[in-house]
A and B are shown apart, each in its own frame.
Chain A
Amino acid sequence: MKRTLPGFPLSFGFMMFYMSFIVFIPLIALVWYTMGIGWEAFWNAISDPRVFAALRLSFSASLIAALINGVFGLLIAWVLVRYDFFGKRIMDGMIDLPFALPTAVAGIALTSLYAENGWIGSLLAPLGIQVAFTPIGVTIALTFIGLPFVVRMVEPVLRSLDQETEEAAGLLGASPFTIFKTVLFPLLTPAILAGMTLAFARALGEYGSVVFIAGNIPMQTEIVPLLIMNKLEQFDYAGATAIATVMLALSFILLLGANILQWWLSRNLGQKAVDSSR
């Protein structure tokens, strides 16, 4: 097949140039700056138990939020694609709101809702459940901002699935649950995973919506981006970059792993549904 548009050398060159300016150079600068502070300062900055607790909270809350979004994002995408109901368009538009809203606005709204005297918080308080200023609150904020990723990744794939494939499975004697498990879910898995990866990545870096609801109690509800901000406010650039570098390395490893998993799954789950109807 003859290639359209500029061709490999030019487009690859441009990609590298662009990626360098937008992504690589800032990140390399970060690592470079960190190396400049020396091992001892680096170690001092990150061996703080507060940093360790924050890393644990950031990664675990982000992961849980991504998992929650995986389940409910799939459900929402399913309803939006498969059913017709009044207000469907409005619903569909609202999915993107967590993207559009300044995160601080979301944080303030969530905090006032979940605080002990808020609408939801006051209902949960008698049950002994406290959300605001606990890791649960952090997870809720991260779930809020990550939702659109899964919905928007799954929707087009779900829409492109051929209903006849499900009918074929049904005619072969499969129950609706079996059809979902054996036919739909495997075809949707790569999209769900991709959406969850994006939601996870977004949650790791989230700051605005979390700081209000988290309460920022050292060792309990401090997230990594907050620690970095704290260091910067104290003009401790070395400490901030050291933590950032650790965060960067861990994120990179996790995202790389997620991508490899996706690649492996989409290869092993065969081609997409589009091919079957070709």
Chain B
Amino acid sequence: MSITITGITKEFGKTEVLKNINLTVKEGELLALLGPSGSGKTTLLRMIAGLEHASKGDIFFDGNNVTNVNAKDRNVGFVFQHYALFSHMKVKDNIAYGLRVKKKKDRPTKPQIESKVNELLELVKLDGLGERYPSQLSGGQKQRVALARSLAIEPSVLLLDEPFGALDAQVRKELRRWLRTLHKQTGVTTVFVTHDQEEALDVADQVIVLNGGEIIQEGTPSHIYDSPNSPFMYRFLGNANELKGTATKEGISIGGVTLTSEEPHADGDNVVSYVRPHEISLAHTSGNDHHLEVEITKTHPVGPIVFIEAKRLDGDREQIEIELTKGAYDNLSIKIGDMMYARVERFGTFQANEYMI
């Protein structure tokens, strides 16, 4: 089932938590709502579920306006960050809950419910744990019970609110891959909320980034990662070096070095360029390209990656961060105090007045 949201605005008292949101989730899509805390992503998800009501705007499921439809009649599956399992019921009763509370005429028979529960237990890989109570399960298992419970009613859309937020890193990674497979198997239109950019980029077909109640950027994970459209996106998707400079006819001038840029900026504008640490390469000798001259101040190898801090020798002598693979680092035999040439391979430039925070 597709979800369309038009002009959704939400105010809690005087604060606007969502400002005129428009978006579409296609049938069968796995969409991530990504944003820092307070960006309004959870509120938006709860609105789709019917747990919150919009101050303005409409929500459509397959073209039907559901804005005023009660949460219990929307037939959505919802998974909470803290599981929200019924602690006084066994796992199998948790899963069967949605089927048992159906009106008599729609309710499956007892054997039907039982076989559905077993089917779901198998789907979430918890066969044989049906007789346990939630308190006897690990966090990852609890979340899978919650997922099975929400799938039992064969929801038209599945909504997950930071589903892996309470789990430890290892389990989280495993579960999100598994969620992807599960999504392929069931094909249910799925929206999940996360503040973890890695998780969003790893799992989703489409990512929508929210900040301050507004959509900042939307697109496929690779589009989002390759072409961040604002300084916020650069900061949010991982750390990036900020290089202040000015726009010239040739490109962007940073500390006397000119980087060619296709982005149009008016001559003489103050600009900020964002460069990701792993999109900088180092060399001992100057090549044909424009290089920033740097002095290596710190190296810190972590497994396959070496984190390097270097001080620019031009202008304000700012620190920049560089990430090299262990192999590249060893080949260059870098030592602290070395003078080197840093070549910027990719960057994004924005007007300095767009500069946020």
User: Interface on A for B, CB 8 Å cutoff?
Assistant: 162, 164-165, 167-175, 178, 182-183, 186-187, 269-273, 275-278
Contact = CB atoms under 8 A, between A and B. Distances in A.
A8 B133 CA distance: 30
Contacts of B82: 162, 164, 276-277
B104 interface: no
Interface in B83-127: 83-90, 97-98, 101-102
B86 A164 contact: no
Nearest to A171: B78
Contacts of B146: 168
A243 B78 CA distance: 60
Contact of B84 (A162, A173, A182, A270): A162
Contacts of B84: 162, 164-165, 167-168, 276-277
B134 interface: yes
B149 interface: yes
A168 B160 CA distance: 12
B80 A170 contact: no
B246 interface: no
Given A162-B82, A164-B84, A187-B87, A173 B102 contact: yes
Contacts of A173: 72-73, 75, 98, 101-102, 153
Residue among A170, A172, A187, A275 with max Cβ neighbours from chain B (10 Å): A172
Nearest to B103: A173
A170 B101 CA distance: 10
Given A173-B73, A269-B88, A277-B83, 4 more contacts: A165-B84, A172-B153, A173-B102, A276-B87
| Interface residue tally on B, bucketed by range | 20 to 34
Nearest to A179: B101
Interface in B39-63: 49-51
Nearest to A181: B101
14 contacts: A170-B72, A171-B76, A172-B152, A173-B72, A173-B98, A174-B101, A175-B101, A182-B97, A186-B88, A270-B88, A270-B135, A276-B86, A276-B134, A276-B135
B189 interface: no
A87 to B, nearest CB: 23
A270 B133 contact: yes
A183 to B, nearest CB: 6
A103 B51 CA distance: 48
Contacts of B101: 169, 172-175, 178, 182
A172 B87 contact: no
A189 to B, nearest CB: 9
Residue among A171, A187, A276 with max Cβ neighbours from chain B (10 Å): A171
